[in-house]
Amino acid sequence: MNQNNLNETEKAILVLSRTTAIIAIFFILVVGILVSLIIDTTDPLIKVVAANTETKVSPVDKTTETNSTTSTSTPEIPVDNSWIAPDDSTIPQGKEGDQIRYGKELVAHTANYLGPKGSVMQMSNGMNCQNCHNEGGSKPFAFNFAAVKSTYPQFKARSNTWVSIAGRINGCFQRSLNGAKLDTTSKEMIAMVAYMKWLGKDVAKGVKPKNAGIEKLAFLERAADPLKGKAVFVNSCVSCHGKNGEGLLAASGTEYTYPPLWGKGSYNDGAGLYRISNFAGFVKNNMPFGVNYQHPILNDEQSWDVAAFVNSQARPHKDQKADWKDLTKKPVDFPFGPYADKFSEKQHKYGPFKPIDKEQKLKSKKKV
């Protein structure tokens, strides 16, 4: 074999070895990539370890951060969109719309038309329906009218009868407004019924939205305390309702800007607010004025206590002998006997209510 043939052979061997080396390197790279992908997707422990080597937060740091957040912020109830009052712009034109608008005006400024100096008649105490049914009965958890159309006529255990919308309105006139019945065929009654039906026009029959009426607060382990409630009243209520609960009369002299909470111009002891569970539930999400259920100021105990204080004050009395013929149906916080249990009037008024509630539930189960 000559010199030229050797050179050609050496060249071929060199090219082949280089090619083999390149292929081997490429193969190693491919295998490395595949192995890294397999580890990334199938071994979460490796990922956790890697993450912990990058950023470490001690358990103490986490606890401190959580406690700091809790102590500086007030928990909020999630927004409840189960019912939203229709916009006034959707009130129809014509006679129907005129009735609805007049009904709203009567709810907002009842005393201007039906109070002691009313322009239509004088039949109530000077308070407005809106004093309890805030924002014309359109505010969530403020005795709104969301479920009026959908749930009336309604059987009422208090009167042991079926009650119409007009009948329920007259109940308020006789109790919360400490007045007389309104003629159910009158222009005013027809207008108020029309307005309430319009507010609840989008609620299906038989349905009561979650944000209708008021929130029912959990019972305390103790009795509600009027003395503690007085301190709450002085700190949070006096500026609007006055130190003697007399309220603030508007410049017109015909209605109240802020209603009286006791005394001859306030609701009588037959009103729903005279049951302190109702008062406490209303106050929690609506008072001081301007508060709503998403941003309450008073806590549950303060709400129960201020309810006890306000309802311990003197107010007009209503004869309720005809109410609650079935004693087993009386609410736990109805403050007047007789009762179907052994608990006193004082406990029925201020609590503690849990023992009463427990006994009522046991008796109810036995009946079933």
* pLDDT digits (tens), the chain, 368 positions: 444 444 565 555 555 656 665 666 666 665 555 545 444 443 333 233 333 333 333 333 332 323 332 333 334 444 445 899 999 999 999 999 999 999 999 999 999 999 999 999 999 999 999 999 999 999 999 999 999 999 999 999 999 999 999 999 999 999 999 999 999 999 999 999 999 999 999 999 999 999 999 999 999 999 999 999 999 999 999 999 999 999 999 999 999 999 999 999 999 999 999 999 999 999 999 999 999 999 999 999 999 999 999 999 999 999 999 999 999 999 999 999 999 999 999 999 999 999 999 999 998 888 76
Q: Which amino acid is at 204?
A: A
- Integer Cα distance of 295 and 290 in angstroms: 10
Residue 114 gets the label, from left (phi > 0), alpha (psi -120 to 50) or beta, of alpha
In angstroms, the CA 132 to CA 209 distance is 19
Distances (CA, A) of 296 to 285, 287, 309: 5, 8, 20
In the chain, list all ranges with CATH 1.10.760.10.
88-199, 216-368
Strand partners, 227: none
E-assigned strand segments in the chain: 154-156, 161-163, 248-249, 256-258
Task: Tokens for 257, please give them.
Answer: 């800007």
Phi, psi of 170 (to 5 degrees): -65, -30
- 258 forms beta bridges with 248
Are 245 and 313 a contacting pair, CB within 8 Å? yes
The single residue listed with the structure tokens 């111009």 is: 265
What region does 330 belong to: left with phi over 0, alpha with psi -120 to 50, or beta? Answer: beta
| CATH superfamily, with its number, for domain 216-368 | Cytochrome c-like domain (1.10.760.10)
Taking a C-beta distance cutoff of 8 angstroms, is the pair 40, 47 a contact? yes
Provide the token pair at 310. 């306000």
Is 88-199 assigned to CATH 1.10.760.10?
yes
pTM of the model: 0.77
In whole angstroms, how far apart are CA 284 and each of 93, 108, 117, 174, 199? 38, 22, 32, 26, 24
DSSP string, 136-177: HHTSTTSSBSTTHHHH-SEEETTTTEEE-HHHHHHHHHHTTS
